[in-house]
Structures are given as C-alpha cells and as structure tokens.
Chain A
C-alpha cells in the first residue's frame, strides 16, 4: 500500500481565495482524521470521519472550513475564504477504528496564505 496520500504537498494562495486539500486514506481503513499543525498550537484535530460519516467537527475553527468524505477512498478539506492565519501544515491520517489502533499519517500539505 502507498500509505495515506495527500495533495498538494505545498500550496501558496492569496487571502480570500478558496483552497482545497485532498486525502486518499489507506484502503480498508474506516476512520479518517484531519489535523492542523502550527508552532503555537501544535497538532489540533479538526474533524474525523468514521465509515465516511463525520463524527466530530468541533475542532473546525470557523464556518470557513468544511470537510467531506464522499466515499471510502477520498476526503477533502476546504477553506473558503482563506486567511493568513490559516497558514499551517494540514495532515490527514487514517486508521482501522478511531481509538486503540495507531494512525497512519500522510506527508501533509503545507499551506501558506499571503
């Protein structure tokens, strides 16, 4: 398996633009997580899905953020409109089950909003 695949690896966009981050989880994993990593706040859980259904989105910072998982092999995280404070590394992870199993992380998308 190629692991969790995220795209793009790097994204630079202007404030106000829409940004879409993409994630392909490991085949057979039924839980998917989106995390954001910043120097100030560390790793924060934004949202997670179980069997393609959003379970907890309480970490999504604002209505500007939305996430979808239309099928078991694809998820998106969208920011519209983007702001400079959204600049961070966004990680997608997948696992079999949400708790006791370790997660497999993608390589992340480094987002810079200027």
Chain B
C-alpha cells in the first residue's frame, strides 16, 4: 500500500538556520503530496501541497517540490524562527485517504 517515510527527529536548529526535512513516498499512480504542521496541543494544519510532478508548494517561507523521479517531497525553509518549533508531517493521497509519515519534531532555539 501507499506509504510515507520521513527523517527521524528530533531536529534542533538555531534561529535563522536552514531547514530540510526529508520525505520520500511509495505510491501507485500519481498521488498528491502534503506537509502538515502540528503545534503543541493542537490539531494538524495544512502547510503546503503539490498535486503533480514538478509542482512546488509554498507557504510561510516553507517550500517543497514534488519530485517524481526520486519519489520525494522534501520540506525546506531558508531561515527558521523559534515560532516554527512544531511537529511536521509529510502525507500523500492517491485513491485513498491521507497517509501520514511518523512526523519530525523541530525545535528552534534562540
């Protein structure tokens, strides 16, 4: 079945550092890809999405490009802030409901 693999966390960065969280997927067909963010004590919020190969999703300084050739959707941000501290989930949907990765906890220190 469809699956998502994310890099293990936690990831700890200093403020203004560059962020990459790796995500690869296995799916039949051409899934849509998503990044969700979960702040402490809250539900998941959609951060960005891409629905076809080579699409770039972006929001709040975060970006991810749908790479069909490497089946990847890595999340990047050029300069993280303390307020970006959260758990980030990569997810996909093809012909089924969203399938999530295990999540990557990011801690940004001032």
Contact flags (1/0) for B75-109 with A, using CB distance below 8 Å? Answer: 00000000000000100011111111111000000
Instruction: Say whether A33 contacts B34, CB under 8 Å.
Output: no
Identify the closest chain A residue to B94 (Cβ): A99
Number of interface residues of B (CB under 8 A): 23
A84 at the interface (CB under 8 A from B): no
CB distance from A109 to the nearest CB of B (A): 10
If the complex has contacts A42-B102, A45-B97, A99-B96, are A107 and B51 also in contact, measured as CB distance less than 8 A? no
For residue A19, CB closer than 8 A to chain B, the reply is no
List the B side residues contacting A16 at CB < 8 Å. none
Interface size on A, residues (CB 8 A): 20
In the complex, the answer to whether B44 meets A91 with C-beta atoms within 8 Å is yes
A108→B40 CA distance, assembly (Å): 12
- Residues of A contacting B97 in the complex (Cβ-Cβ under 8 angstroms): 31, 33, 45, 48, 56, 98-99
Q: Does A114 contact B (CB under 8 A)?
A: no
Is the pair B32, A99 in contact by a Cβ cutoff of 8 Å? Answer: yes
Say how far A54's CB is from chain B's closest CB, in angstroms: 12
Measured CA separation A99–B49 after assembly (Å): 12
**Contacting A43 at CB < 8 Å: which of B42, B89, B93, B96?**
B89
- Return the contact of B34 from the options A45, A98, A102 (Cβ within 8 A): A102
B54 smallest CB distance to A (angstroms): 17
Q: Which residue of A lies closest to B49 (CB)?
A: A102
Q: Contact mask A88-114 → B, CB, 8 Å, 1/0? A: 000101000011101111111000000
Q: How far is the CA of A80 from the CA of B102 in the complex (A)?
A: 28
Docked pose: A110 CA to B34 CA in angstroms: 25
A42 touches B101 (CB 8 A): yes
- Identify the interface centre among B41, B44, B95, B103: most chain A CB within 10 Å of its CB: B44
